[in-house]
Amino acid sequence: MARIADDLWKYNLAKITVVDTSDDYKLMLDPLPCSMYPVLKEVWVPRYLLPTGLLHQELVSGYHYDWHEVPVFGDEIEHWYVGVVDDAALNITTPI
Res 38 pLDDT > 90: yes
Res 8 pLDDT > 80: no
pLDDT digit string, tens, across residues 39-96: 999 989 888 887 777 766 778 888 888 888 877 666 677 888 999 998 877 775 555 5
* pLDDT (0 to 100) of residue 50: 79
- In this prediction, residues 17-22 reach a mean pLDDT of 93
Q: What is the 3-state secondary structure (H, E, C) of 27-87?
A: CCCCCCCHHHCCEEEEEEEEHHHHHHCHHHCCCCCCEEEEEEECCCCCCCCEEEEEEEEEH
pTM over 0.85: no
* pLDDT (0 to 100) of residue 71: 79
**Alpha-carbon distances, residue 68 vs 12, 19, 23, 53, 83 (angstroms):** 20, 10, 16, 12, 6
Integer Cα distance of 26 and 46 in angstroms = 34
Q: Which residues, in sequence order, are CB contacts of 77 under 8 Å at separation 6+? A: 10, 13, 14, 15
